[in-house]
Amino acid sequence: MAEAAYETVENVMNKLIKKLIGFSMGPVIGALISFMTIPLTTYYINPAEYGKASMFLLFQTIVGTFLFLGVDQAYTREYHGASDKTKLLQHALLLPLGLALLVLFAALLHPRPLSQLLFGRPDEALPTILFGVMTLFMVLERFLMLSVRMREKAFEYSLLAIMAKSAVFLLTLFFIFFIRRDFLTVVYATVFGQITGDAWLFWRYRRMLNPKGFSMDRVLLKTLVTFGLPIVIATSLSSLLGGLDRLALRLWSTFNQIGIFSATLKVAAVLSVFQSGFTSFWVPTAYRWYSENRPVTYFKIVSDTVLLAMSLLAAGIFLFKGIIVFLLSAHYSSAQYLVCFLCMQPLIYTVSETTCLGIVFSKKSYLNIWVGLCALIPAVILDILLVPPFGAKGAAIATAVAFLFFFAARTFFSGKHWVCLPVTKHYIVFLILFAAAFINLMDVPWLTIANIFSLLLILIVQRSTIRVLWVFWKKTRTNRR
């Protein structure tokens, strides 16, 4: 009987790995393409100019979060139960698209205040207007990509992501070598590259966007908004948490520090690639497992495996962080002291996706508001204390600590409304990495030894996970023979 159960777990995990690979292809290849642009932009664009471009991208993310009204989350929640997917998509798009049009009109009519906020001067009208255009495209892309994801079309999802990243990369090359080498290079390449990449997506799903025959279903719209509104507060808090470091640097530091911080984030985004790929396949899979009453063991194995993979990737970045100096340029040399703390954000967030399921399964989306506040309050306090004296280093520490509170809150509320997964191992691994990150703030001769030691500690703490995966791998090999 136990053998049969093991075989079931084995088969499920094999399918899970195949889907993970499919969904990860796009983010991984897209990240490699983006990774190629890092030395290109940092070599030709100084940190202050790069900081201005980063503010454009940051505000795009924050504004987008508010515009979605949480309806994007409601859309995924209602997707499998909806008989008419096109009707569901069009109703989900209705309010976010209307708000995006208002942002565009505001940028067209009053570009100077937004230009001052983003770039530190009021005379950049064109990039400010492009901010509004990008917002409109971002909303359409978000919901269409969610549709692809919820259909579990892994290859198509990855291909669309690669197309957009490729377009941005090629346009970055064009602008740097033939037009200009300042913050507008990044802004123009990002906007026009994203629009180019989205063109195929919009064409392929033009029937879903066609308003012909649309009829307002007030009950459906109310269902989406009712589920989404508590989430919009939570996701806005989460988005603010992710960008608070650069907002603090904008208030109490310089564009130069923002540029160094943002360039380091690009390097730490190696972990964000796996965060994106994992989340893309995990959300629909977790919903399906829950509806099928899968044993909690399945969820625990996934959580432990993700912790192992992400912590090993982070430890690898700690060991080879010196390469950052060569990857960027001499202007960004201090990035090597930030990268370890900046790795903590994608690591902790990705692992928390496996321990927060009770919140979504119980449909108590308002709990995400408390999660956001539990993380945002310490983030604000630490930013106020650390950013003015320490600049980018202080912002990196504040963000990492805040995401530890984020994980704790997500896990706590999930356990109250579903199953409390064991996370002692998770906290021990996080604390080891935090200790190593603090050591890496300094330039000491025994740094490599300390990083190797932290890697060994991580492996020792997770030896039970390694043992389970080893047995699983051996069993899989035996069955294939």
CA terminus-to-terminus distance, the chain? 23
Which pLDDT belongs to residue 360? 78
| Domain carrying residue 115 | 2-480
> For the purposes of burial, counting CB atoms within 10 Å of the CB of 332, is it exposed (0-12), middle (13-18) or buried (19 or more)?
buried
Closest CA to 475 of 110, 13, 22, 111: 13
| H/E stretch holding 151 | none
Please tell me the total count of domains within the chain. 1
Angle at CA 124, nearest 5°, toward 121 and 130? 135
172: number of Cβ within 10 Å:
22
216 φ, ψ to 5°?
-65, 125
pLDDT profile of the chain (481 residues), mean per 10 = 47 61 64 74 84 88 83 81 82 90 92 88 89 91 85 75 84 89 89 87 85 84 83 77 89 87 78 70 75 80 89 89 70 80 90 86 80 92 94 92 94 86 92 94 86 93 87 68 57
Which pLDDT belongs to residue 254? 84
Closest CA to 391 of 224, 249, 289, 250: 249
Per DSSP, the three-state class of 441 is coil
Per DSSP, the residues of 306-363 read HHHHHHHHHHHHHHTTTHHHHHS-GGGGGGGGTHHHHHHHHHHHHHHTTT-HHHHHTT
348-367: buried (b, 16+ CB within 10 Å) or exposed (e) per residue? bbbbbbbbbbbbbbeeebeb
Per DSSP, the residues of 400-428 read HHHHHHHHHHHHHHHHHHS-----HHHHH
Please give the model's pTM, rounded to 2 decimal places. 0.75
Q: In the structure encoding, which two tokens stand for residue 179, read together?
A: 């037009």
Q: In the structure encoding, which two tokens stand for residue 423, read together?
A: 């996370």
Which pLDDT belongs to residue 18? 61
Instruction: Provide the residue count of the chain.
Output: 481
Q: In the structure encoding, which two tokens stand for residue 477, read together?
A: 């090999």
Dihedral sign of CA atoms 342, 344, 347, 349 in order: negative
Which pLDDT belongs to residue 468? 82
Whether the CB-CB separation of 100 and 67 falls below 8 Å is answered with: yes
Which pLDDT belongs to residue 4? 45
Q: In the structure encoding, which two tokens stand for residue 350, read together?
A: 């990705």
Per DSSP, the residues of 215-276 read ---HHHHHHHHHHHHHHHHHHHHHHHHHHHHHHHHHHHS-HHHHHHHHHHHHHHHHHHHHHH
Which pLDDT belongs to residue 6? 42
Per DSSP, the three-state class of 437 is helix
Whether the CB-CB separation of 171 and 179 falls below 8 Å is answered with: no
How many DSSP H helices and E strands does the chain contain?
Answer: 20, 0
| CA atoms within 13 A of residue 112's CA, in its CB half-sphere | 2
Q: How far is CA 70 from the centre of its chain?
A: 16
Token pair 């039970």: residue = 464
